[in-house]
Amino acid sequence: MALLSGRLSAQEYVFHGYRQDSGLSNIAIHTVQFDRAGFVWVATENGVYRLQGSRLVRFGAQEGLPEHLVVDLFIDPAGVVWAGTYQNLYRWNGHEFRPAFSVPFPIWGNQRIAAEGTSHLLAVRQEKLYRIDPRDSLHSGLEHPVFTDAEIEDHSVLKSISTIVATADGDIWMGCEREICHYRNGRLTEWAEAAGVPHEPWQTLYFDRHGSLWASGEHHLLELSPGGTRFLDRTPPSTQKDNIYTEFPISEDRMGRILVAMDEGIARWDGKAWSIIYAKNDLHFGRITGIAFDGNGDPWIGTGDRGLIHWIGYRDWEGWTDLQGLPSSTVWSVDAKNMEQTLVGTNKGPARIDIRNHSVTRLSAASRWDYGQVSGISEDRNGKIWATTFSGSVLRVDSRTGKTDRIGKIDAPFFGLQEDAAGRLWLKSDQKGLYLLDPTRNANPRILPVPEADAVLGSASSVSASCVAPDGSIWFATDDRLLQLQNGRWRIPKFRGNGLLKDTVLNSIACARDGSLWATAEQSGPWHIQSQGKDLTATLLPMPAQWSQSTLTAISLDHYGWMWLGTDQGLLAWNGSEWRLFNQESGLLWNDISENGLVEGSDGSLWIGTSAGVSRLIHPERAFDRIPLHVSITGIQRGAAVFEPGQRIDLPWAGPPLRLAFAAPAMWNQSDLVYHYRVNGLNSSWVTTHEDETVLSSLPSGEYKFEVYATNAGLHAVSPITSVEFHLRPPWWKTFPFMTLWVLLGVRLLMLVLHLRTKRLLAQRSKLEALVRERTSALEASQESLSLLATRDYLTGLPNRRAMHESLQKELQRARRTKTSLMVILADIDYFKQINDTYGHLAGDEALRQFAQALACTARSHDHVGRYGGEEFLILLRTFPIESAQTRLLDLHAAITNLSISYEGHTFSITCSLGASIIDGRNLGSGQTEDPNALLSSADQALYQAKRSGRNRAVLQDFSSDSLDI
């Protein structure tokens, strides 16, 4: 293959594969097509499959397709599906395939069928071209060859036609022998080497939207522009120049870019150069045999050995992980105010992403990053990069040399930094208040406390979030208050009414263009905060029920005024009237979004930092575009009888149950897809289900109308109602006179029985209700007083052992339900008895309180920390990539060990040992135990090994394997 200039695309994308577990029993695909209803069809070496919902349904011998190997699929202008095998050509009639003609019509490869206008098809039988009428199934199909025997004798290349494509105005292009042929109005033109066509077999021909003809052969890809006289070589760059392609699919996306398969992945032509999507983009597909685009603009990729692949969010999403060069895939903070470059703070240092060429540059030249997780990052007006870490460091990074200087350190975590309108940086800390860094006045600034803020807030205040208002004032969220800096004056406004901050801890705020604020809290939100005089009012924005229990981690307002919420279930968007959800099923790299990772870029794109990389939503303005949703009835069957949705269905009363299958080709947010159906004539209420089939049995005779529609909350979409009518004939003994008599007698008897039974039930219910009210009042009174005593540890204020056991059981259930990981950690203070013996039990109590506080600061808002007993503590970490478990445990141990304790003139330090056990939720329910005591025992064994190995260390033990001393 000839090498041309091109570039490697360095982004990470989201792909979803459909293989055996999705119903695709054979993963060797030959072609991919979409029908007019939006369903994807694939031809494989074991029949034809159609994707219905999340599963592929096979059509084989039972559905009229006796041969296993299907080499070609074609959807004609009328929407009819044609399937070609080496033995015959078949046509789909709505519920089964039937031979297209009265004699066999072998199809020997892909792209052997084409539409000629709207009324006729062209098909290559073996190696000869025929014109066929799709409405004519009574003839052999051989009555209308395109070329006469005389034409074939005059042009020997017509003896071997491989692939065809036709235009609406009568042009036919063919791969013929080792040339490309054009036929129009009885005239044949052969395009050979003199016209830029290498002497090789040609497998695929394709017309793009501009009228250019693309042709792929064994070694080359060519383009013929409209009216051109010579083909241009457009062969993509390749590392294997001598590759031979037996299938080289070509397709075009909505932006007019050409996509072709190649040895490393997919090549994409933008009119000027090729970009290559390959292994570093998480593309591991092997041999690609087909590319087709769905109604959303996403490509679906058929492969010869990996099944069917959906490229999710193709037009709108891109991402970066450690595969593209980030120091770590765990992203904590993002600074996207630069139009061309974005800064990213990760677990292992900062990086810069160049949006122009999608490259990643690690900013620090240090061979080892020892400063902790980068909680905040910003580039000042002089081009210097500043970063804060959860370990309490403030860093300056030279973007040119990579030199990293620590200019300050406190003994508490920094939650991030905020640049104000003057270019100053405000540093937010845990229980140490605010610090100021002013690079505008000094080339080597120091971090300074802010005594004015401390005077207002008091000592030991935590500042978790901040934003800059349009008037230049800065708002800070603290544990239980909002703090404002305006024109050099600090104040804490009061809330009117019940108040937002009663029993509420804010974790994220955003400043709106109208001067109001939006905020999220650990257990509620979002809140809309508005000024009323000198005071504030807070109004809770109701969220859809399906997301109301989400943990809100971040908030951002874009230039449209739309609100974006980071959650543990993905990215929520609200435009003032509608909600949308974006998650891994939409193109997001990971659903768990970091607190400082949600920002709008200066170009209007949205950046989302997650624990599995950073995603970029390129076109947020399309977030609320209407996504068409519709339902098709895909099967109607009673016993062996199969019916088409459009036909009159008349059935005898007695017989097997009636099965109705339906599906909506929703390609995004499939887990949010819900069906609603009812049977008019039986019940007017709607039944809600995630299943795509229902069985109707024991129906009385009569006229019925089955109706179904679909909803998708994540897409804010509702489909029209689709229906089918059917009639059940009554038996003779259910004629009107007999039925009338039986109904009258039955009604009379039923009324009497119901009257007596109702009277007795009402009396019993009255007694039971009185007894329940009495017992309920007593129980509520006692439970309310015991609730706090039963779930909290009085010394540290953390949940006690009982509460943590309950949390562990709930997290195990969540891990099994969401197929995510869970780490259970037992932490023990080393030589705690010596502390009590040396400094006294009160000093030991103080050590326990400060150790508990340090543990709580390192945990995320949805993690759990509690006192397990004595000097032992229990930590539950959930929803993170399982491959980062070792790093997460190391970071936790580094943050809490060697803690300095001061008490009544004595200063001493404590170390700790950690024992951890991790469980993979994907394995729960398939043999792995869900017993919380077994998981605790595993963590306890790891803790025992940590102590036996010398203490002050952490040991990680996979729940199903041996421990690992780290």
- Hey, which residues are catalytic here? 871
Q: Which two tokens stand for residue 133?
A: 């009428």
Exposed / middle / buried, residue 500 (Cβ in 10 Å: 0-12, 13-18, 19+): buried
Measured between its terminal Cα atoms, the distance across the chain in Å is: 49
Q: Which token pair is 703? A: 């006229």
Query: How many Å is the Cα radius of gyration of the chain?
Result: 34
**892 and 825 Cβ atoms separated by less than 8 Å:** yes
In this structure, what token pair is assigned to residue 852? 């508990």
Tokens of 273: 């150069």
Rounded to whole angstroms, the Cα distance separating 30 from 15 reads 19
What SS3 class is residue 51?
strand
Distance of CA 627 to the CA centre of its chain: 17
Q: Which element (helix H / strand E) includes 835?
A: helix 832-839
Opening angle at CA 143, ends 138 and 148, nearest 5: 170
Query: Quick check: bond before 526 cis, omega within 30?
Result: yes
β-partners of residue 372 are none
- Say what angle helices 932-948 and 801-818 make with each other, to 10 degrees: 110
**Do the Cβ atoms of 857 and 411 come closer than 8 Å?**
no
Sign of torsion over alpha carbons 530, 532, 536, 540: negative
Return the closest-CA partner of residue 121 out of 98, 137, 104, 108: 137
Residues in a beta bridge with 224: 213
DSSP reduced 3-state for 792: strand
- DSSP string computed for 736-756: HHHHHHHHHHHHHHHHHHHHH
Helix (H, G, I), strand (E, B) or coil at 73: strand
Tell me phi and psi for residue 867, to 5 degrees.
Answer: -90, 125
Alpha-carbon gap, residue 661 to 635, rounded angstroms: 5
Candidates 635, 717, 739; CA nearest to 669 is 717
Instruction: Tell me if 486 sits within 8 A of 470, measured CB to CB.
Output: no
What DSSP string runs through 717-728?
EEPPPEEEEEEE
Q: How many other C-beta atoms lie within 10 A of the C-beta of residue 465? A: 24
CA gap 290, 308 in Å, rounded: 9
**Which of these, 880, 875, 848, lies nearest to 863 by C-alpha position?**
875
560: which DSSP letter? T
Count of beta carbons in the 10 Å neighbourhood of residue 185: 6
